[in-house]
Amino acid sequence: MDALLLSLRLALCVSAILLAGGLPLAYWLAYSNWRGKFLLEAVVALPLVLPPTVLGFYVLIAMGPRGPLGKLWQTIFGHGLAFTFEGLVLASVLYSLPFAVQPLIASFESVDRKLLDASAVLGAGRLRTFWCVILPLSIPGVVTALVLSFAHTMGEFGVVLMVGGNLAGVTRTVSIDIYDHVQSLEYADANRMALVLLAISFAVLSVVYGFNRQVGRQIGHRLWTPWAAK
Amino acid sequence: MDTVGGEVNASTLSLRLQLQRSRADSAPFLLDVSLQVPAGITILFGPSGAGKSTLLDCIAGLVRPDAGRIAVSEEVLFDSQAGVNRSPQTRRIAYVFQTLALFPHLSAVENVAYGLASLPHAESTARVEEIMKAFRVDKLRARKPAEISGGERQRIALARSLVTQPRVLLLDEPLSGLDAELKSAIVEDLRAWNAERRIPILYVTHTREEVDALGERVIAMDHGRVIGTGTPFDVLEAPRHKRLAQAAGFENLLSGTVVDLREADGVMRVRLNNSHCEIEVPLGYAAAGDRVLVAIRAGDILLATSQPRDLSARNVIEGKIVAMELRGTLVRARVDCGTQFIVHLTPGAVRTLELAEGRCVWLVLKTHSCHLVEE
């Protein structure tokens, strides 16, 4: 059960961080006219196509005692970043970035530009337009982003294994726990964990699709799904 | 609002601007306009693609012109030479879009109050109440735009724009979807609202009916330029521009060659293309041999089944009906006189005269129903 609690804690942290950072990033990607924007878009989408081991490998190198992130962390907090919960959070944030940012971009872009013009002409600045017009009309996108980052983090395996190692209570998440059980031929334990994960994933996705269907009907938005974006 | 001793000063919008737009999918477009818009309703009329909406976007500050100056009375909103470019938020120009752009997630009251966020709650509530009464939508309050009828949505969009006490109102075909009765009721409320405030209202349309319904002053635009200014009659009844003539509902646009000028009679004779058909039109800036375009309304042409005599009308042309079709309450007939004319008739006239395809007829045209237009 330790593994499950750890995974839940990790997924919650990652979703919260991705929401906080994803909103401004997605806003910028949706509305900026900068020419080099496509480069950043490509970087954000990288985890979709990169094998988790490749991403995990570079994150591990960066977080190692000689890596820039590792050194910085060492000087600030007095201990290394690799094989810790914080390191796991950081790696998972990178890994789930497109799953949070792309639904946000898609829903920001589907807000009618004339509404933004109307808001500006009525005297509202960018921040007020964002809070009062863009965000309320992007609720399905926000929910999708939160849930996809949560579910994606719950289920990740490769990155966690590379960056976190396999320390019970610290970095041993559900998926790694299941893998361990299978390796030791403890199929009953593996099955119990796998079923819990399956049930959680299914429940969460059902709630989201049901919610988005309701809200989407009210404000006329389509649901964003990762396979539609690819 | 500029008030002096309780009196409201009527303000004027004056602008002069250029904007070059190059798009991958179309020819480069140049907007080059100079305008004075006094208090009251001024209609900006022109075919779609003439640059009307782009002009409004420039005035509202949503699009930045390449060069020029925009001012309301003495206050400069944009001046390329002085480096002034006020943001749309601070221009106090109200803009009602063609799509209205009501916020779909906010109720009618929240929509109307949107532009008053900086006011104290009590004052904002009072102003919203007042304007919603003036535009007769005070019963809708909590309803969302999707639950409101088309005409009421338009009223709410107007109320939302005007509650901020703007200095200028821009309307981009906001009433295009409504029937004539509803339209004129809304325009009456708008006029009543503006009677004491006296702000310039620029009303964009591309339909002839709206010009007739609203008309005081008309500015006609095409290809990014102003091509005519004046009363609806000046601009539309005697159009000097081919695209404007089409937009204003001149079904017949016939090209021809000037045969001779008769200055003493104030007329000239024009031979229509590919025919022996000659018609008399009012004297224009043309010389014998020049190619000209003549615009004639299908409803201005009379039709006779025997050759009429002793008429004041100078043009009587013999021809044959080649096609007739019923369109709503009018019959549209094509008459071949060497060149084809379109004539509008009532179903009653068709019955009484026993008109049918293949019938020989005479067309009667007054000289002053024939208008010379430029290509």
Q: Which residues of A touch B115 (CB under 8 A)?
A: 122-124
Interchain contact A78–B (C-beta under 8 A): no
The structural domains of chain B, with segments of one domain joined by +, span: 3-92+166-247, 252-373
Q: Which residues of A touch B117 (CB under 8 A)?
A: 123-124, 128
* CATH ID of B3-92+166-247, from 1.20.1730.10, 3.30.1540.20, 3.30.70.260, 3.40.50.300: 3.40.50.300
Whether B251 and B342 have beta carbons less than 8 Å apart is answered as: yes
**Of residues B90, B101, B160, nearest to A114 (C-beta):** B101
CB contact under 8 A, B104 and A122: no
Give mean pLDDT, residues A23-35: 93
CB contact under 8 A, A123 and B164: yes
Express as a percent the part of chain A with pLDDT over 70.
93
Domain B252-373: assigned CATH number: 2.40.50.100
Q: Which of A78-92, B41-55, B235-249 has the lowest mean pLDDT?
A: B235-249
pLDDT at residue A226 tops 90: no
pLDDT band at B9 (very low <50, low <70, confident <90, very high): low
Q: List C-alpha distances in Å: B340 to A194, B330, B356.
A: 81, 19, 16
Express as a percent the part of chain B with pLDDT over 70.
94
- Burial class for B276, CB neighbours closer than 10 Å (0-12, 13-18, 19+): exposed
Interchain contact A215–B (C-beta under 8 A): no
B306 secondary structure, DSSP code: S
Give mean pLDDT, residues B217-221: 88
Identity at B168, one-letter amino acid code:
V
Whether B132 and B110 have beta carbons less than 8 Å apart is answered as: no
pLDDT at residue A219 tops 60: no
Express as a percent the part of chain A with pLDDT over 90.
44
Predicted local distance difference test score (pLDDT) of residue B3: 38
Predicted local distance difference test score (pLDDT) of residue A195: 92
The DSSP code sequence of B17-56 is EEEEEEETTEEEEEEEEEEEE-SEEEEEE--TTSSHHHHH
Interchain contact A122–B (C-beta under 8 A): yes
Q: Which residues contact B12 (CB under 8 A, 6 or more apart)?
A: B36, B37, B38, B39, B72, B73, B200
pLDDT at residue B112 tops 90: yes
Domains of chain A: 2-229 (1.10.3720.10)
Identity at B137, one-letter amino acid code:
V
pLDDT at residue B347 tops 50: yes
pLDDT at residue B76 tops 90: yes
Mean pLDDT over each residue of chain B, to the nearest integer:
86
Predicted local distance difference test score (pLDDT) of residue B239: 67
pLDDT tens digits for range B274-317: 778 888 888 877 788 888 888 888 888 999 998 888 888 888 99
Nearest CA in chain B to A124: B89
Predicted local distance difference test score (pLDDT) of residue B156: 94
Predicted local distance difference test score (pLDDT) of residue B25: 63
CB contact under 8 A, A123 and B90: yes
Q: Which residues is B229 bridged to in the sheet?
A: B219
Give mean pLDDT, residues B325-353: 87
Spatial separation of the C-alpha atoms in residues A151 and A11, rounded to whole Å: 7
Q: Which of B15-24, B36-45, B159-168 has the lowest mean pLDDT?
A: B15-24
Handedness of CA A22, A23, A24, A25 (dihedral sign): positive
- Of A221-230, B201-210, B238-247, which one has max mean pLDDT? B201-210
pLDDT at residue B324 tops 80: yes
Spatial separation of the C-alpha atoms in residues A48 and A29, rounded to whole Å: 17
pLDDT at residue B1 tops 60: no
pLDDT band at A221 (very low <50, low <70, confident <90, very high): very low
pLDDT tens digits for range A116-151: 999 999 999 999 999 999 999 998 889 889 988 998
pLDDT band at B180 (very low <50, low <70, confident <90, very high): confident
Predicted local distance difference test score (pLDDT) of residue B215: 64
Whether B236 and B45 have beta carbons less than 8 Å apart is answered as: yes
pLDDT at residue B79 tops 50: yes
Q: Residues of A82-94 as b/e, b for ≥16 C-beta within 10 angstroms?
A: bbbbebbbbbbbb
- ipTM greater than 0.90, yes or no? no
A185 secondary structure, DSSP code: T
- Of A153-167, B173-187, B229-243, which one has max mean pLDDT? A153-167
pTM metric for this prediction: 0.74
- Which of A116, A117, A122 is the best residue to mutate to test the B interface, defined by the most B CB atoms within 10 Å of its own CB? A122
pLDDT at residue B13 tops 70: yes
Predicted local distance difference test score (pLDDT) of residue B124: 93
pLDDT band at B208 (very low <50, low <70, confident <90, very high): confident
pLDDT band at A162 (very low <50, low <70, confident <90, very high): confident
pLDDT at residue A229 tops 60: no
Q: Which residues contact A150 (CB under 8 A, 6 or more apart)?
A: A11, A12, A14, A15, A204
Q: Using an 8 Å CB-CB cutoff, list residues of chain B that contact chain A.
A: 60-62, 87-91, 93-95, 97, 99, 101, 103-105, 114-115, 117-118, 146, 160-161, 164
